[in-house]
Structure 1
């Protein structure tokens, strides 16, 4: 004879990046009572580097959500409990006693081995886990993660709610289709995506759909449910109605900390040069028209700026370096991981193209296009933002001529690419209209002296003035 064994397994907040300590729960896709399967996405979280969806690594029924949406949770803290079904030999039945109907077995503890990095979503998997097992003959009662003491006797009722109110989907069904930036916008505006009518391809909810739903959401709600879900995000405030406070967390918080650290740790020096890029712009148009780099490959001025910088780094590898404060050493990087600063709805991020220096112009174009698309969709993985060695920031797309860019922490240099404008220029002894831009190179003066920085910037400028040098120098 056997009896069913139902054990609670807790899924802990994983380290979805390299050395991250916390993450914010953006949205839950399940609620207590839902059945989940191994690999099913249960929530979306935002770290200091990206927004990622977390799949759960086991199958069972959701017992409890330990934190509501908007909570910042430390890595290694349990965020959800799932009742996992199984079978085991029945234990001898003891004589009747005034004991509770359901009892919680002692917590099974095993040694926890050293933490190691694993795939996104499964966290630091270890051989030892903590599990609260419970043998019951009736419907199980929820188990608090805060104590291993026996809970109240089980009763045929739904599981009790988590300690704090959890914002979960209002009804069961398929999850609305929307990209992470759109989900973030809906959360900030207090819009329930399940109530939004999608107009995008294949039923995807767009930003315009969310904005269109703002007015109905703000209207008085019908008295259908006894208690409406509490929206923690502030509603839009009209101009002139007072100050608005925006919590600094996630990507913005990490960016602010990194920039302060960089500005006050590395001695910045910035050099500028104004150049004629008429020939480069002609080459961009030709590559677009002829499709020389391949079908559906996007060609932009940024592509040639990136290739010019990579060529300059190849000629002056000392600029591809970092400062090791602990060892008091300069570390010359073995490969060039080219960072591209990207503005996203969550803030500025700097994903990088791995081993960009080894790529052909066509390969670089493909990698650049994929990097930009992924960043815009909010799907940049933490791994894509690790290990950068030199960065480009394209301020020209905002109509800005130039700036003094701040170094990405751990890198020796960053290049700012300004707006391309038609300006009077001396060309072949005559003043004629030419396409002109301004480049700015900031570098860490501990690693890069004025001579090296000037040579790198001069090489980039020379290539963009006469892009045929890409062939002879590259």
Structure 2
């Protein structure tokens, strides 16, 4: 019995997704909930689990194709009577089905499966054959011994290496075959360090291949332009920023602050053994200051609901932290950030940044923020006019901390100075309210003890 699986709504309400790669081929036998493909939406790379157990009958799209939600993605040859057995997996994936109508599962939050679970069995590829047909000895010497033993067998099936898209890109650039690399990450995940270490070992010994005679270098004509399709994160970011810029009347205001007391506090916290493992930096302290200041300026923690003709003030802070990733700018959200301690806030910022850079932030974690912060100082920038995320009332930008002459206690001294930039929606926030918020944040960074005065 042929069962057709259509691309589901991945929880973002987006009309399409790009197929990054298939993890199965036509003719492969797959298990229920086995990961069959990776698709990239406007916000994240998502792994799709199989809703059926059976044989892959047909792949309806190729890697790189943009597939519309609801379009046929893959067909399975499922044994008769197995449909009911597949139902628990569909329910786990968020499917709503009945005897008359089936809708595709809502696949949100799926991460990499443990080693050996839900991965297709494939045959090992010849990883680095020499020109005379023999295996390159440098590759075999660089590979772990258990991998070499597998290659010595009669081409047995083995698991597809577990890795993230950035790691696979790095491996391709370095000419490293991932099937020879042993992962040291969680559940055998191959990391960037694993690939780099393998590449270094690969380059160390001399290759047992005669050197080819040098040939004249041929210079390729330089391309005058590069064309990149507008899709994925870049397209979603562009649409959101244009919608925000032409919907919310932006006002930006700036405040330059002596933050020497905060940098000294950070140094003392790093030396505190009780806080070992918590990376508390200027961003974490500014985030805590913003949460405190929002309690005194609720108009900056609100949204303009045009449909209901209401201003909605939030009594919690879901704090968005802008993160630059290889796929573009994303803004993952820390839920109830105002309820976290400073170490907890620092840990949350570190975790979401790492997840965002790997492209694995669940789409649901990048929606529903109430206020955002962007740290442009990490790029050496002093100030800017950030664009508000749609649905929010403001965004705070942190500039670079610079050591410079500054008036201090009636004298000129070298101090750590930072510029804060605040953009806010003038429909929701008056100039006085924006100024009060910014001076509250600046006051805490200038004198961290002032946080004790806010509630």
Contact 2:261 2:447 in 1 (8 A): yes
Q: 3-state DSSP class of the match of 1:370?
A: helix
Aligned pair partner of 1:204 in 172, 183, 190: 190
Give the CA deviation at 1:170. 8.5
In the other structure, the counterpart of 2:59 is 65
Give the CA deviation at 1:374. 1.2
- Which is richer in helix? 2
In the other structure, the counterpart of 1:85 is 79
Give the CA deviation at 1:181. 2.3
The answer to whether structure 1 residue 300 and structure 2 residue 281 are counterparts is yes
Aligned pair partner of 1:32 in 26, 39, 42: 26
List aligned pairs for 1:320-331, cutoff 5 A: 320-331=301-312
Contact 1:47 1:250 in 2 (8 A): yes
In the other structure, the counterpart of 2:160 is 175
Aligned pair partner of 1:44 in 20, 34, 38: 38
1:43 to 1:315, Cα distance in 2 relative to 1, 3 A: same
List aligned pairs for 1:382-461, cutoff 5 A: 382-461=363-442
Q: Which of the pair has more CA radius of gyration?
A: 1
In the other structure, the counterpart of 1:228 is none
1:199 to 1:371, Cα distance in 2 relative to 1, 3 A: closer
Distance 1:390 1:169 in 2: 49
In the other structure, the counterpart of 1:276 is 258
Contact 2:12 2:363 in 1 (8 A): yes
Distance 2:361 2:235 in 1: 17
The answer to whether structure 1 residue 15 and structure 2 residue 15 are counterparts is no
Contact 1:198 1:206 in 2 (8 A): no
The answer to whether structure 1 residue 374 and structure 2 residue 355 are counterparts is yes
TM-score (norm 2): 0.76
Distance 1:239 1:256 in 2: 32
1:335 to 1:193, Cα distance in 2 relative to 1, 3 A: farther
Q: 3-state DSSP class of the match of 2:93?
A: coil
1:243 to 1:325, Cα distance in 2 relative to 1, 3 A: same
1:430 to 1:323, Cα distance in 2 relative to 1, 3 A: same
Contact 1:16 1:123 in 2 (8 A): no
Q: 3-state DSSP class of the match of 1:177?
A: coil
TM-score (norm 1): 0.73
Contact 1:321 1:332 in 2 (8 A): yes
Q: 3-state DSSP class of the match of 1:286?
A: helix
Give the CA deviation at 1:87. 5.5
Distance 1:68 1:207 in 2: 30
In the other structure, the counterpart of 1:223 is none
1:302 to 1:309, Cα distance in 2 relative to 1, 3 A: same
Aligned pair partner of 1:263 in 245, 250, 265: 245
Unaligned runs of 5+ in 1: 1-6, 89-107, 109-117, 132-167, 217-236
Give the CA deviation at 1:251. 0.8
